[in-house]
């Protein structure tokens, strides 16, 4: 394909081996962004006009054309439809996914020299520890990671399939000198719970690096140098999987999507070694959550269904309900209102009959307020502002410890007001969301504010909207502590 314009200078950025040695991934990114710009200009469309046609924000489209974001297959298809491009963009995005499907993470341990594939779902539990520990060690030693780089939703599908088909017959044993007993495992779980509380209150940017250092400095020595077998071995790997999943979730909240994907895959592998079905279902649900956020509706739906199947096998109804609502989110991203409504109904009925007495402690966040928020996000994605507003109001009747969640729900309510034409009310609620976000280090919090700011921008002549824009500007420009380390990338609200 020949693209008109000046010669492109490829930005060679190596991220600790996140991309293979071949330059094919970067080449395809250049082709995609150049093709997108050419098609848009030939159609006589501004970025904002294309955003209105495709339901993406101007800032997100700017990032695609600037090469700051990699397109998902779903994004490319939607842009193809908006530009009537006959599949050109989808073909380029598909080629790029192939090029980026073999990320590398550098060396797993000091005594190993060969690189470890961060997306690998290891064939046995010992290799799984090597890959996970290698990821922790590299992350501690890294100097920089580009936000959003290296994510491909399709890379989740292989590990999910492996989980669904693998036998749960591994028996982790360690022959080291230090006995691993219950206090060691309880310490890991309690530290993880503390970090999770801080993540909910202050955002992933405050906890991500401490969690990773804890994994590398405290958990890895137990896995390699501990003496354990039977229940102690499975409990140790389960605790390690839970902490690794939290590290992935925090990376996701920081906008480090490729890194988050690696952590979630390694968490799933450790959970398999521990035969921890409830945690496996929760990790699959987290994968679905990230895929939907990145606009990959097909993968989001498939992963949610996998999570549902595992949750049913585990007998944890709350996770089954979570999986159903995440499936609904995937349908909402795809614009399928009927399928979304069916999944939401299933989620509500499942939660109504759930016995929560035996739930794992880490699923405690999933309550009526959280379910209402997910309902609201689905209806907002479908453009049903009147329904989104109803559920957004319910979602704010929530536990005050979930500060980041409250900020998300305030933006949701503001978005619903904007969709129903209540612009001044949207700005007032949005200003409250800015106040809450000022105490967070969360790229997602800033992303949602950016999407709201884009939505309200045409009405900046209204005093309430102008005040919201003034209050939000320092956050959106990265001049306060709300952004996670590194440049945050504004996203479309979908």
Helix (H, G, I), strand (E, B) or coil at 117: strand
Domains with residue ranges and CATH for the chain: 24-99 (1.10.260.40), 371-494 (1.25.40)
Q: What pLDDT score does 29 carry? A: 59
Q: What pLDDT score does 467 carry? A: 97
pLDDT tens digit sequence for 415-445? 999 999 999 999 999 999 999 999 999 999 9
Burial zone of 126 (CB within 10 Å; 0-12 exposed, 13-18 middle, 19+ buried): middle
Helix (H, G, I), strand (E, B) or coil at 399: coil
d(CA 404, CA 439): 9
**148 contacts 70 by C-beta, under 8 angstroms:** yes
Contacts 24+ apart (CB under 8 A), 361-368: 361/193, 362/193, 362/196, 362/242, 362/279, 362/282, 363/278, 363/282, 363/316, 363/318, 363/319, 363/322, 365/200, 365/402, 365/405, 366/318, 366/319, 366/321, 366/322, 367/398, 367/399, 368/394, 368/397
Q: What pLDDT score does 94 carry? A: 65
Tell me the Ramachandran region of residue 478: left when phi exceeds 0, alpha when psi lies from -120 to 50, beta otherwise.
left
Residue the block writes with tokens 């906008």? 255
Strands 174-175 and 178-179 come out as unpaired
Burial zone of 458 (CB within 10 Å; 0-12 exposed, 13-18 middle, 19+ buried): exposed
Q: What pLDDT score does 484 carry? A: 38
Q: Could you please report the per-residue DSSP string of 33-96?
A: HHHHHHHHHHTT--HHHHHHHHT--HHHHHHHHHTSSPPPHHHHHHHHHHHT-TTHHHHHHHHH
d(CA 133, CA 473): 40
d(CA 41, CA 81): 16
Residues 341-369 as b/e (b if ≥16 CB within 10 A, e otherwise) read bebbebbbebbeebeeeebeebbebbbeb
Count CA atoms closer than 13 A to 149's CA, side-chain side. Answer: 22
Residue the block writes with tokens 């939290």? 246
Burial zone of 222 (CB within 10 Å; 0-12 exposed, 13-18 middle, 19+ buried): buried
d(CA 380, CA 6): 40
d(CA 262, CA 243): 14
pLDDT tens digit sequence for 466-482? 999 999 999 998 744 44
Residue the block writes with tokens 């974001």? 69
Burial zone of 188 (CB within 10 Å; 0-12 exposed, 13-18 middle, 19+ buried): buried
Residues of the chain with pLDDT under 70: 1-30, 55, 59, 68, 94-116, 143-149, 479-494
Count CA atoms closer than 13 A to 354's CA, side-chain side. Answer: 26
3-state SS of the chain: helix, strand, coil percent to 5? 70, 0, 30
């Amino acid at each position: 394909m020949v693209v008109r314009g000046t010669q492109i200078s490829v930005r060679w950025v190596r991220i600790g081996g996140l991309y293979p040695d071949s330059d094919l991934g970067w080449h395809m990114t250049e082709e995609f962004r150049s093709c997108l710009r050419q098609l848009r200009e030939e159609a006589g469309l501004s970025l904002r006009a294309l955003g209105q046609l495709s339901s993406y924000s101007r800032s997100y489209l700017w990032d695609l054309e600037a090469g700051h974001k990699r397109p998902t297959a779903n994004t490319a298809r939607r842009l193809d439809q908006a530009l009537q491009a006959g599949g050109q963009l989808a073909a380029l995005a598909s080629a790029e996914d192939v090029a980026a499907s073999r990320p590398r993470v550098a060396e797993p341990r000091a005594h190993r020299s060969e690189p470890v594939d961060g997306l690998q779902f290891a064939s046995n539990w010992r290799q799984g520890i090597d890959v996970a520990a290698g990821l922790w060690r590299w992350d501690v030693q890294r100097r920089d990671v580009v936000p959003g780089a290296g994510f491909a939703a399709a890379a989740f599908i292989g590990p999910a399939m492996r989980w669904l088909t693998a036998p749960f017959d591994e028996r982790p044993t360690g022959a080291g000198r230090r006995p691993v007993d219950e206090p060691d495992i309880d310490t890991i779980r309690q530290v993880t719970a503390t970090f999770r509380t801080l993540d909910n209150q202050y955002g992933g940017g405050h906890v991500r690096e401490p969690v990773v250092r804890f994994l590398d400095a405290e958990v890895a020595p137990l896995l390699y140098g501990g003496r354990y077998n039977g229940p102690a071995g499975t409990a140790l790997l389960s605790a390690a999987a839970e902490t690794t999943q939290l590290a992935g979730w925090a990376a996701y909240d920081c906008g480090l999507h490729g890194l988050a994907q690696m952590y979630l895959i390694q968490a799933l592998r450790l959970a398999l070694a521990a035969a921890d079905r409830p945690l496996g279902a929760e990790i699959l649900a987290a994968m679905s959550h990230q895929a939907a956020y990145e606009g990959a509706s097909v993968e989001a739906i498939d992963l949610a269904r996998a999570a549902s199947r595992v949750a049913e096998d585990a007998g944890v109804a709350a996770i089954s309900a979570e999986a159903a609502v995440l499936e609904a989110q995937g349908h909402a991203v795809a614009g399928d209102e009927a399928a979304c409504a069916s999944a939401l109904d299933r989620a509500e009925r499942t939660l109504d009959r759930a016995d929560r007495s035996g739930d794992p402690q880490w699923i405690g966040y999933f309550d009526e307020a959280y379910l209402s928020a997910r309902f609201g996000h689905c209806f907002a994605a479908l453009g049903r502002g009147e329904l989104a507003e109803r559920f957004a109001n319910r979602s704010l009747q929530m536990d005050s410890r979930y500060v980041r969640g409250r900020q998300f729900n305030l933006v949701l309510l503001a978005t619903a007001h904007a969709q129903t034409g209540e612009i001044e009310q949207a700005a007032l609620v949005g200003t409250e969301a800015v106040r809450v976000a000022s105490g967070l280090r969360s790229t997602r919090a800033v992303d949602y504010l950016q999407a709201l700011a884009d939505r309200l921008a045409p009405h900046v002549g209204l005093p309430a909207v102008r005040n919201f824009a003034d209050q939000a500007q320092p956050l959106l420009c990265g001049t306060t502590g709300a952004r996670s380390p590194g440049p945050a990338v504004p996203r479309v609200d979908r």
